[in-house]
Homo-oligomer: A and B are copies of this chain.
């Protein structure tokens, strides 16, 4: 891992994350384990990794997958350019997989390179694609103070206990109980101790880390109210639900960038006029490469989508700078950002001057940025 400047973790502790991604996804009803199913073209696990990765104070992200999926996971990491990720081979149950993930921070023999042991470790599911930094931060803070913490949600259905004859034994008073969700966080030494102490029965049949911390370390986890988006993708319908959340979270603002030439500035005026009834529009006339601070302030106003109008041939280089700036800005690229390159074909240029070479170049560029969740589209307009 290369050293990098990171924001301070809540409470100044060192933090890493373990993502169990070894499930078989049998409830989803398909051949592909759910963490590898695509939502808007990207595997679910990539969203979960991204959600951790964009939190600058998380040092290492350990993804635990079953042996047969190690290569798949590695190719996902490469394809989407994930950083700070270590892939670890899982066990046959959820608890055994998490234990394997934790060992990488503590035991030399389980990893070719021992990762630095964090004070607090986050455990998050690969099939919970959306988690805000605020929630993670609260859980980490609570873990620092209480030794363990986990996100909870209200129960959606009443929970009942069945008797041996398949009849109702009793129902639980819904208000007294909560659904235990993820992320959870622990002082590393507590959860690692719990895993070392626990029985094979726990490892094979248990699922709840908070339970292990309570049972083996007498640590009562602090419960933190989570957001509705924390739910776990379990059934096929949840993949569609995940897609809807992505759509709901797309930035509803666009910035139209034109340079100062007269014809372009005119388009830069007309386009926002016609767009503004449907979407919030900012319009600026600048040369892309020279106005970092101006664009920076637009981005910090939560406007991440851009239309760049240019009469140069697609202006790939300037656009590359914009993409770099978006990446550096640490904005929520968990949700797609749209970049539309408009090539104005103005009479004084050669008409339809776009050749195969240009097309190939822009397609290649679009393919690369797509991995970063930036969708680039090209548009040719004949303008008189």
Q: What residues of chain A have their CB less than 8 Å away from a CB belonging to chain B?
A: 27, 146, 148, 150, 152-153, 155-163, 166-172, 174-181, 205, 207-208, 210-211, 214, 220-223, 228-229, 231-232, 234-245, 248
Contacts and interface: CB of A to CB of B under 8 A. Distances in A.
The list of the 8 closest CB pairs from A to B, nearest first, reads A240-B244, A237-B241, A157-B179, A167-B220, A168-B221, A158-B180, A241-B241, A171-B211
Contacts of A232: 156-157
Most chain B CB neighbours (cut-off 10 Å) among A169, A211, A237, A238: A237
Nearest to A248: B236
A4 to B, nearest CB: 34
Contact of A178 (B159, B223, B244): B159
Contact of A168 (B155, B166, B220, B241): B220
Given A157-B179, A157-B180, A159-B179, A167 B240 contact: no
Given A159-B172, A231-B235, A237-B241, 17 more contacts: A27-B228, A150-B168, A157-B180, A157-B181, A158-B207, A158-B208, A159-B179, A160-B180, A160-B208, A161-B177, A163-B220, A168-B214, A170-B214, A171-B208, A171-B210, A171-B211, A228-B237
Contacts of A166: 222-223
Contacts of A223: 160, 162, 166-168
B236 A244 contact: yes
A148 B167 CA distance: 9
A159 B161 contact: no
Contact of A180 (B171, B207, B238): B171
State the copy count for this chain: 2
A236 B246 CA distance: 12
A286 B53 CA distance: 63
Contacts of A171: 180, 208, 210-211, 214
Contacts of A237: 228-229, 231, 241-242, 244-245
A231 B235 CA distance: 11
A155 B159 contact: yes
Nearest to A237: B241
A38 to B, nearest CB: 14
A65 B242 CA distance: 31
Nearest to A168: B221
24 contacts: A150-B168, A152-B162, A153-B157, A155-B159, A156-B232, A157-B180, A158-B179, A158-B180, A158-B208, A159-B159, A159-B172, A159-B177, A159-B178, A159-B179, A160-B180, A166-B223, A167-B220, A171-B180, A171-B214, A172-B177, A174-B207, A228-B235, A231-B237, A236-B244
Contacts of A146: 167
Contact of A156 (B167, B175, B234): B234
A296 to B, nearest CB: 32
A140 B130 CA distance: 40
A178 B160 contact: yes
Determine which residue in A146, A220, A243 has the highest number of CB atoms from chain B within 10 A of its CB, and name it: A220
A221 B167 contact: yes
A172 B163 CA distance: 15
A4 B288 CA distance: 73
Contacts of A159: 155, 159, 172, 177-180
A238 B235 contact: no
A346 B96 CA distance: 70
A158 B180 CA distance: 5
Nearest to A211: B171
Contacts of A239: 244
